[in-house]
Structures are given as structure tokens and as C-alpha cells.
């Protein structure tokens, strides 16, 4: 049996640390917020229409990966819980908080699974959550190829509720901490030479969204997960992804979407991004995450792809209090340094955050979805396609190419366009509207006096060299030392 995320060790020109992929991505959202089965079915149809943007192995039945991230289907989760025998354990009411997560465990290792479940239950209890029940979602692997079958995980579905009344944002925060702690501690349950391969993987664990994915081809997704074809599986937003692992090995856990994003392209600054994140972990602080932040480290999990690493950091920024679009702009900025036409406030916004977060440069098209907002950003290289159109029934369809849903009459389309380099497309479902790129960036650029902070609180190497005394005293280093002790004596005296 192969672990569901197992990858070969580095050998010759291959190194799993340099894996990346290029794919087909998209989303469909009902701006009214109405949950319908049509949104799900159209999402699955659009995904199938991007089969050519994914890939498969020599076995045509084994895909590089396919998946969907749906806004929490409220009717379905209540029906599924009732069918599993714990429907009465869920809190009632429209505002009741219920988190659902799809979890991968290794097959044929029941003791390891038991230990992972015990770890998760302990971590959830520590952050004030209770488990309403576990469900085994039906799966059908009859269409899978040999490689996908060898690595197929055991899929389980967990239902979690807060033990005490809580806001949704607090609930999401503690779920994040419990999941990260469980993931890190679970690695200690396996032998050291197996540790790059996790014994448990959370596709998602949230009260806002749910992810179904796997080492599948696009047309296999709904047959493998019959949940997606149920008439009560209704949602208001769905993002989807067909994976083409250009220089990578496919794995169940590496299929998209991840907890917030799905991605077409590659992150070519990845090694530097990972190293800088590791370097700054000792200085990370958060009023929201508090002391729990340390137990969530490392933020970028072991053996992650470029897209997974991007999602790990994006998730941290959101859980620490930033909005999803603001966090995306921090990580994927437009070209601002040499722009002669950019507003001063927007330039100051980018300049300020450039000292906190290095750009994750592609070429990359990044789609993001948290159930309340869904959108896309094209990095400043602009080398990945993204088309969108808005219909007269208040829906937005966005994806790697036009014609994802060819059955929509042209007369029903009220707006269409393409995403340009450095621009963001945002659908705010809570507000029921599409937010223009200029409005998004003007809002964030005006939130704080970034220009004043830069002018009054920053300094450059040139500042130090021309006027060192206000900041620090610069001591000339002698050209040479007789030995190491002489250098240590000079350093101590300085």
C-alpha cells in the first residue's frame, strides 16, 4: 500500500522541494447567496469541460488531481448527520455553527488511524470544541486506475460544534489551531523515514466551506464522491480545479482546491518564500492567535507543493485577522515599484507590506474562496489566462478560459471580460455584488497611514551610511586579525 501523499525521495535532477504545477481553475457564485443544486451541477460541468487542462498518467484512469470547494451546503450536512445517527447533536437555527471536514487516513492501518483520531479529539477539546459525530462518506473507486487505487486513502467526515457560544471567526480560528497541532503531532506517530508522508490529511475543516478532491480526473470526481450528486447538496459558491502536475508526482493530498485557494501556474520564488517564512517564525506574534500560534508552527507544512505552501501562509494571514482579499494582495502584489501612474496611497500600501511579506511570484493565477467572498488575482507577470462573465440571473462564472458553460445563451450575459496582470476580481456574496479592482485597493490603501509610517519609521542603508548617529554607531572593522581571539576581543570591545 502506498501512502496517499507519498512522493519519491530526491534523486538526480528530481527534488520534491521544487515541485509545481499548471492547471485549469474556475468558480461559479450566486451573488444573491441562494443555495441551489444548480450551482453545484454547473461547477461539476465546468470542471469536466476543463479536462484538457488537467493530466493523467500512462493509465488513463489515473488523474493528476481534481476537486471542488463548496460554500457549506447547510441542507446536506443536516441530512447527512441525521442519516449517520447524530442529527440531534447539531445545534438548531440559521446561525448555528457546524464545521465539517473531509479527512484522509492511510488505508489498512487501523491502529494509526485510531491514534490520529484520538489526537484530533484531544486537540479539539482543548480549544473548546465538541465532536458531534463521524460519518463515512460514500465513495466509488470502480473507475480509478491502478496508481490512484494503490494510494487511495480512507475518507472520513467529521462534524464539529463549539462547546460554548462563539462567533464564527473565533470558531474558525480554533479549528485552525486544532488542525495544525494534530497535523504536526501526527507526524511523530510514524517512523522518522516515513515522516515526509503524513498519516492524516485534512482536505478542509471549516464551518464555511467543504472540499472534495482526490487523485482523480475531472469526470471521476462526482462518481467517486456521490455526495456531490445528491439533490440536497446545494450551495451558493463553488470553486474547482483540474490539476496538471508539470514536473511533479500526483498525490491525493496535492489535488486542489486547498483550504482557501486553487492555483494555475507555479511559484518561481518558492525557495526564497519558504526560507523567509521559516526565518521569521521566531518573531511571529498575533493578538488573535495568542500563545496558540507557537503550537501551529511550522506554518508551511513538510513536503508541501508550491500551491500548498502559498495556501498555508495565506491561511495564517487570514486567521491572524486580515481579510482574505487583503492577505492575497500582500502575497501577490501588482507591479508597483516603477509605476509612474499609481496613486501614492496604493504605492505606500504595497511598499509597507513589501517589508513584511515577499511577493510570491508566478506566473500564477490564484483563485480564493472562503464561502463569503470568492475571487481571483493574476500576478504581475500576467502569463495565465482568466476569463469571467456575469449573467442576468446574478451569477458570476470565472475560469481559465471562456465557454466553461456553453449552454448559457449570449443574451443572458450582461458583462464579460478578462483579468489583467496585477488585477483582482472579487465577488462579495454578503454584499451581493462584484467589487471593482480599484475600489478594493483604494479601501485597503486607506485603512492606515502607510505613507506616514514609511516616512517616519523606516530607514535605508543609504540613511545609515550618510547619517549613522541617529540610528546607530557604525564601527569600522579592521582589515585583518592575528587570530580568532583577536577578533573576539575586538567584537567585545565594540
Active site residue ranges: 23
pLDDT at 223 over 80: yes
Percent of all residues in the chain with a pLDDT value above 70, rounded to a whole number: 87
486 vs 424: CA distance, rounded Å: 57
> Using an 8 Å Cβ cutoff, are 429 and 373 in contact?
yes
> Using an 8 Å Cβ cutoff, are 235 and 145 in contact?
no
Q: What is the pLDDT of residue 193?
A: 65
3-state class of 197 per DSSP? coil
Q: What is the pLDDT of residue 268?
A: 92
Q: What is the pLDDT of residue 21?
A: 47
pLDDT at 20 over 70: no
> Using an 8 Å Cβ cutoff, are 151 and 2 in contact?
yes
3-state class of 74 per DSSP? helix
pLDDT at 484 over 70: no
Q: What are phi and psi of 393, to 5 degrees?
A: -100, 20
Confidence of residue 137 (pLDDT cuts 50, 70, 90): very high
33 vs 35: CA distance, rounded Å: 6
183 vs 272: CA distance, rounded Å: 24
Q: What is the mean pLDDT of residues 117-131?
A: 97
Instruction: Tell me how many degrees the CA angle 176-100-135 measures, rounded to the nearest 5.
Output: 130
Q: What is the pLDDT of residue 464?
A: 74
Percent of all residues in the chain with a pLDDT value above 90, rounded to a whole number: 78
> What is the average pLDDT score of the chain?
90
**Three-state SS string across 417-454, please?**
EECCCCCEEEEECCCCEEECHHHHHHHHHCCCCHHHHH
> Using an 8 Å Cβ cutoff, are 345 and 388 in contact?
no
Confidence of residue 303 (pLDDT cuts 50, 70, 90): confident
> Using an 8 Å Cβ cutoff, are 67 and 211 in contact?
yes
Q: Tell me, yes or no, if the pTM score tops 0.85.
A: yes
Going across the sheet that includes 413-418, the strands are 209-214, 66-71, 237-242, 24-30, 395-399, 387-391, 413-418
Q: Which of these, 69, 391, 372, lies nearest to 210 by C-alpha position? A: 69
pLDDT at 163 over 70: yes
Please enumerate in sequence order all residues whose Cβ is within 8 A of that of 216, keeping only pairs 6 or more positions apart, or say none: 63, 65, 66, 67, 144, 148, 224, 255
Q: What is the pLDDT of residue 249?
A: 76
Q: What is the mean pLDDT of residues 30-45?
A: 98
Q: Which residue has the higher pLDDT, 9 or 120?
A: 120
Q: Which of these, 202, 222, 236, lies nearest to 74 by C-alpha position? A: 236
Please enumerate in sequence order all residues whose Cβ is within 8 A of that of 434, keeping only pairs 6 or more positions apart, or say none: 31, 390, 396, 425, 426, 427, 428
Q: What per-residue string of b and e applies to 226-256 under the rule 16 or more CB within 10 Å gives b?
A: ebbebeebbbbbbbbbbbbbeebbbbbbbbb
Side-chain-facing half-sphere of 99: CA atoms under 13 Å = 28
> Using an 8 Å Cβ cutoff, are 89 and 268 in contact?
no
Please enumerate in sequence order all residues whose Cβ is within 8 A of that of 412, keeping only pairs 6 or more positions apart, or say none: 391, 392, 393
Angle separating helix axes 324-331 and 437-445, nearest 10 degrees: 90
Q: Which long-range contacts (CB under 8 A, 24 or more apart) does 161-169 make?
A: 161/89, 161/90, 161/91, 161/97, 161/98, 161/99, 161/129, 161/130, 161/132, 162/97, 162/128, 162/129, 162/130, 163/125, 163/128, 163/129, 163/130, 164/128, 166/97, 166/128, 168/97, 168/207, 168/208
Taking only the tens place, the pLDDT of each residue in 377-434 is 999 999 999 999 999 999 999 999 888 999 999 999 999 999 999 999 999 999 999 9
Q: What is the mean pLDDT of residues 246-267?
A: 88
3-state class of 137 per DSSP? coil
Q: Which residue has the higher pLDDT, 491 or 299?
A: 299
Q: What is the mean pLDDT of residues 175-179?
A: 98
pLDDT at 482 over 70: no
Q: What is the mean pLDDT of residues 184-202?
A: 83
pLDDT at 16 over 60: no
Q: Which of these, 100, 95, 79, lies nearest to 155 by C-alpha position? A: 100
Amino acid at each position: 500500500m502506498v501512502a496517499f501523499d507519498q512522493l519519491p525521495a530526491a534523486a538526480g535532477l528530481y527534488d520534491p522541494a521544487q515541485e509545481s504545477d499548471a492547471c485549469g481553475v474556475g468558480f461559479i457564485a450566486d451573488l444573491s447567496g441562494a443555495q441551489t443544486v444548480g450551482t453545484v451541477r454547473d461547477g461539476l460541468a465546468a470542471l469536466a469541460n476543463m479536462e484538457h487542462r488537467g493530466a493523467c498518467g500512462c493509465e488513463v484512469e489515473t488523474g493528476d488531481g481534481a476537486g471542488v470547494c463548496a460554500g457549506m451546503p447547510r441542507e446536506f450536512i443536516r441530512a447527512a448527520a441525521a442519516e449517520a445517527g447524530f442529527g440531534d447533536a447539531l445545534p438548531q437555527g440559521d446561525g448555528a455553527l457546524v464545521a465539517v471536514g473531509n479527512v484522509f487516513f492511510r488505508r489498512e492501518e487501523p491502529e494509526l488511524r485510531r491514534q490520529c483520531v484520538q489526537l484530533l479529539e484531544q486537540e479539539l477539546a482543548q480549544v473548546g470544541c465538541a465532536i458531534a459525530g463521524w460519518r463515512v462518506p460514500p465513495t466509488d473507486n470502480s473507475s480509478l486506475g491502478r496508481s490512484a487505487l494503490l494510494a487511495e486513502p480512507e475518507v472520513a467526515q467529521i462534524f464539529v460544534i463549539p462547546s460554548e457560544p462563539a462567533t464564527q471567526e473565533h470558531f474558525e480560528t480554533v479549528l485552525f489551531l486544532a488542525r495544525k497541532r494534530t497535523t504536526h503531532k501526527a507526524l511523530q506517530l510514524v517512523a522518522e523515514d516515513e515522516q515526509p508522508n503524513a498519516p492524516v490529511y485534512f482536505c478542509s475543516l471549516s464551518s464555511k466551506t467543504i472540499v472534495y478532491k482526490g487523485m482523480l480526473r475531472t469526470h471521476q470526481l462526482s462518481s467517486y464522491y456521490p455526495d456531490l450528486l445528491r439533490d440536497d447538496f446545494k450551495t451558493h459558491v463553488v470553486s474547482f480545479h483540474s490539476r496538471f502536475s508539470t514536473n511533479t508526482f500526483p498525490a491525493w493530498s496535492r489535488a486542489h482546491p486547498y483550504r482557501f485557494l486553487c492555483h494555475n501556474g507555479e511559484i518561481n520564488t518558492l525557495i526564497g518564500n519558504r526560507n523567509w517564512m521559516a526565518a521569521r517564525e521566531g518573531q511571529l506574534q498575533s493578538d488573535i492567535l495568542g500563545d496558540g500560534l507557537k503550537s501551529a508552527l511550522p506554518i508551511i507544512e513538510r513536503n508541501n507543493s508550491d500551491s500548498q505552501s502559498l495556501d498555508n501562509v495565506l491561511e495564517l494571514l487570514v486567521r491572524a485577522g486580515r481579510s482574505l482579499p487583503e492577505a492575497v494582495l500582500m502575497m501577490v502584489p501588482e507591479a508597483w515599484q516603477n509605476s509612474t501612474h499609481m496613486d501614492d496611497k496604493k504605492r505606500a500600501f504595497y511598499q509597507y507590506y513589501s517589508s513584511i511579506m515577499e511577493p510570491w511570484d508566478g506566473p500564477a493565477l490564484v483563485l480564493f474562496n472562503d464561502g463569503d467572498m470568492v475571487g481571483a488575482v493574476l500576478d504581475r507577470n500576467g502569463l495565465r489566462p482568466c476569463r469571467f462573465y456575469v449573467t442576468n440571473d446574478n451569477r458570476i462564472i470565472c475560469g481559465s478560459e471562456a465557454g466553461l458553460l456553453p449552454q448559457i445563451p449570449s443574451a443572458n450575459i450582461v458583462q464579460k471580460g478578462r483579468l489583467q496582470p496585477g488585477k483582482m476580481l472579487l465577488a462579495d456574496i454578503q454584499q451581493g455584488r462584484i467589487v471593482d479592482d480599484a475600489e478594493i485597493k483604494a479601501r485597503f490603501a486607506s485603512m492606515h497611514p502607510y505613507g506616514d509610517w514609511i516616512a517616519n519609521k523606516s530607514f535605508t542603508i543609504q540613511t545609515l551610511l550618510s547619517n549613522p548617529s541617529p540610528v546607530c554607531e557604525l564601527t569600522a572593522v579592521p582589515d585583518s586579525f592575528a587570530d580568532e581571539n583577536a577578533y573576539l576581543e575586538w567584537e567585545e570591545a565594540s
